[in-house]
């Protein structure tokens, strides 16, 4: 079974440019998460989806970040415009349907963003 797939693995852009990250969760996983991981820190939740509905986006900086999960499968996280402080690893994770899981998340390899 394929795991969580993210792309691109690495992205280098200049500040003020836009950037987008894509995530394909494990088949059948209804819940999808985007986490931010700064260097030397643990992952921090940005947004959580149940199917196509964003149920927790309180930590998403909505002035420049946006996310979508059309059809409740793939998801895209966008930053526009990017700032120097956005340099980090953006992690996507998925988990099975609510009520059937024990809290375990399955993570992709992450997308490392460098803003110059």
Partner 1 sequence: GDSVTQMEGPVTLSEEAFLTINCTYTATGYPSLFWYVQYPGEGLQLLLKATKADDKGSNKGFEATYRKETTSFHLEKGSVQVSDSAVYFCALSESGNTPLVFGKGTRLSVIA
Summarize as ranges the residues that interact with partner 1 (CB under 8 A): 3-4, 33, 40-45, 48, 56, 91, 93, 98-110
Closer of 69 and 108 to partner 1 (Cβ): 108
Closer of 17 and 107 to partner 1 (Cβ): 107
Closer of 19 and 32 to partner 1 (Cβ): 32
What gap in Å lies between CA 50 and CA 35, rounded to an integer? 15
Q: How far is the CB of 71 from partner 1 (least distance, A)?
A: 22
Q: Rounded to 5 degrees, what are φ and ψ at 84? A: -55, -40
What gap in Å lies between CA 10 and CA 89, rounded to an integer? 9
Q: Residue 43 in 3-state DSSP? A: coil
First to last CA, the chain: 37
Q: How far is the CB of 37 from partner 1 (least distance, A)?
A: 9
Q: How far is the CB of 47 from partner 1 (least distance, A)?
A: 10
């Amino acid at each position: 079974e394929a795991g969580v797939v993210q792309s691109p693995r690495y992205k280098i852009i200049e500040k003020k440019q836009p950037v987008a990250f894509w995530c394909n969760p494990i088949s059948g996983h209804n819940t999808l998460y985007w986490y931010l991981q700064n260097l030397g820190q643990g992952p921090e939740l940005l947004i959580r989806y149940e199917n196509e509905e964003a149920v927790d986006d309180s930590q998403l900086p909505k002035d420049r970040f946006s996310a979508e999960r059309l059809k409740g499968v793939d998801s895209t996280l966008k930053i526009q415009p990017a700032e120097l402080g956005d340099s980090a690893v953006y992690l996507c994770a998925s988990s099975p349907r609510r009520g059937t899981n024990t809290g375990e998340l399955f993570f992709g390899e992450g997308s490392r963003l460098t803003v110059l």
